[in-house]
Structure 1
């Protein structure tokens, strides 16, 4: 049997009654049909161009922070909106193109069929395939090359755009520069080329530099601090004269560096001054016995569970609390987790006091992973 015969037979066997089966274009090749065809192709083309634009923005648009005083700041501000706009237009183009094609070119069919239980017989499967093939022919997609090409272009570019998001992180090697502060193993507390990194408080104004001295905290107090990389002199040591000028606001500073120190996600550190009676009961972690300075202990604020800020400190119990999932860490036992889903201690920052100025500084970067684990972590 040919396809037309199978169509009729299949309808009878399946008890299908065609109430309406109207060809939207009974007269072929009219101007209206061509306009509809071009409209559908235009939406698919928009989807393709938008998908390619998304890939271009994702790969090459300047995304790193630029200070507001820079002429390039507006480009940085446009990065995220452009990603949303281009990907959204690509999704919209594919969706509208498909819907418009269905409305403009697919036959308007109204059919009534009785439902039956159990699997279909072989003859039903054969007639079903014939119906599908006939529907493809009646949709006229085979002879509309401009729509096929534009649909392939739009859907293909949209597919590439959606694949660029997960593939981008695989193409970029996160460990390429792992020896500097931008690597996964380090934070903004890394002292490069022998520089000294002081503990800085956040005053609310990123342009104001205020460092921390031991006498600034009362016993039982906690403060969040951030790194400040002191300027160096010609011999490689700290340029104290220039640093005092920066603190006083008379020396020029790198505004981008100051702002980034306060905003980088792995920089916040809890500086805790234990009460003298509590400091006597401290249990230190092996290999970190000298990381504290007297009663002062510094731990990362990034929870080892999912990276939330451990912003709460109970003075009476000496517990560090994470408000997201209620993990608790004992400040008297090297910030060991004692409750909640966290299973790793908070990373401890080694601190000391600068004898020249009396300010607290970090002796080195953390020697363990900060925050949630990643797959290269060894413990």
Structure 2
């Protein structure tokens, strides 16, 4: 039993003696088919496929000015796509390394505001130029023909001639001799490949380095400041009042650390007498001051509504309520975990400072875990 080679570029088994399965055996033997060129096999297969060629446009003459201009257009399209893809990779990977580190800020007009738009624009440019290059190549360099074909079931004869047709199509495309296009195509493919895997940034640059979900900018000795950056002393607030404070982070705008937003509350005398801190947090307050996270433990909304008469902090989103005289434990609504308390004291200048970061993760209940 003989083995037929049906790989593209071969004779498809036509050079092996024996009958052709399903083909016009009474007209062509394997020996006869083996003597035919790939182009002849292509035409022969088309004829037996019921293809009627109505018009043929061979494309530009090889080496002509028209062809050279079209090759340059396609090559530049693919090259620009590759450059845009590599620029995407450079901006994505280089942020925080040899480019400025970016972080989202509401009123930022610098690098952080440009980071995401640049990535989107470069990816869009790369994909557009790929499409432009393919359209120009198909329209200006490939042969064009108009044909009508009758549909029928494929046979072994069809597979032999189809293999020649496919390989012949590659030959007619002119890619082998148009080096500018093949090189720019390879360059573009490499750039696009890198660009498409960059969004999997967690495999390259770990976004969870340093436990960002379990820590905040608060730490030992970090001052409590208002939204205008001014520090706070004991006595600046009236009993029963609340003020939102942020960590005074050197070299940055502390207001934009949303996970560190904290409520500094001065208790009234009767509240202080009824105060029952959670076990292990008895010394987290300072005098008649206590500080709790502003982020609701249910869904992360800001819990900034304070009723001093009832000693309750209210979340406006889903109506959870927390009692500040019971360690900010939830007493109503869907929240099931108390607001984390920030341990506070005063520094040598008499300003409020944190004694440490929160000892538990702030935010919704699903982040509830001990910080190690």
Q: Which TM-score bucket, shorter chain as reference?
A: 0.5 to 0.7
- 1:104 paired with 2:140, answer yes
Unaligned ranges ≥5, structure 1? 67-72, 230-256
1:220-266 CA-to-partner distances (Å, cap 9, x unmatched) read x433201237xxxxxxxxxxxxxxxxxxxxxxxxxxx3643222343
**SS, match of residue 142 in structure 1:** coil
- Cα distance between partner residues in 1 of 2:296 and 2:194: 35
1:190 pairs, out of 200, 204, 219, with 219
- Cα distance between partner residues in 2 of 1:331 and 1:115: 78
Residues 314/136 of structure 1: CA separation in 2 closer, same or farther (3 Å cut): farther
Unaligned ranges ≥5, structure 2? 1-13, 15-32, 104-108
- 1:267 paired with 2:263, answer no
- Cα distance between partner residues in 1 of 2:319 and 2:139: 55
Aligned partners of 1:304 and 1:343 also within 8 Å: yes
1:92-149 CA-to-partner distances (Å, cap 9, x unmatched) read 3323222222222234455566789xxx756598366555444333332233222111
1:162 pairs, out of 196, 206, 216, with 196
- 1:350 paired with 2:343, answer yes
CA-based RMSD of the aligned residues comes to: 4.4
Displacement of 1:153: 0.4
Displacement of 1:353: 5.0
Aligned partners of 2:301 and 2:315 also within 8 Å: no
- Cα distance between partner residues in 2 of 1:52 and 1:292: 53
Aligned partners of 1:298 and 1:348 also within 8 Å: yes
Question: Which structure has the larger Rg over C-alpha atoms?
Answer: 2
Instruction: Give the structure 2 partner of residue 92 of structure 1.
Output: 128
Instruction: Give the structure 2 partner of residue 31 of structure 1.
Output: 65
What TM-score, normalized to structure 2?
0.66
1:294-340 CA-to-partner distances (Å, cap 9, x unmatched) read 6644232345567x5525425368344264xx483634565556655
What TM-score, normalized to structure 1?
0.65
Instruction: Give the structure 1 partner of residue 57 of structure 2.
Output: 22
Displacement of 1:63: 1.4
**SS, match of residue 56 in structure 1:** helix
Instruction: Give the structure 2 partner of residue 247 of structure 1.
Output: none
Residues 146/277 of structure 1: CA separation in 2 closer, same or farther (3 Å cut): same
1:318 pairs, out of 312, 321, 324, with 312
**SS, match of residue 310 in structure 1:** coil
Displacement of 1:37: 0.5
- Cα distance between partner residues in 2 of 1:138 and 1:317: 83
Instruction: Give the structure 2 partner of residue 153 of structure 1.
Output: 187
1:316-372 CA-to-partner distances (Å, cap 9, x unmatched) read 68344264xx483634565556655x7765432112356963x43322211122346
Aligned partners of 1:303 and 1:322 also within 8 Å: no
Displacement of 1:9: 4.3
**SS, match of residue 225 in structure 1:** strand
- Cα distance between partner residues in 2 of 1:331 and 1:65: 38
**SS, match of residue 143 in structure 1:** coil
Q: What are the equivalent positions in structure 2 for 1:333-344 lying under 5 Å apart?
A: 334-335=327-328, 339=333
- Cα distance between partner residues in 2 of 1:285 and 1:108: 81
Q: What are the equivalent positions in structure 2 for 1:35-114 lying under 5 Å apart?
A: 35-58=69-92, 59=94, 60-64=97-101, 82-110=118-146
Residues 124/363 of structure 1: CA separation in 2 closer, same or farther (3 Å cut): farther
Is 100-109 or 32-41 further displaced after alignment? 100-109
Aligned partners of 1:94 and 1:151 also within 8 Å: no
1:206-225 CA-to-partner distances (Å, cap 9, x unmatched) read xx524253551452x43320
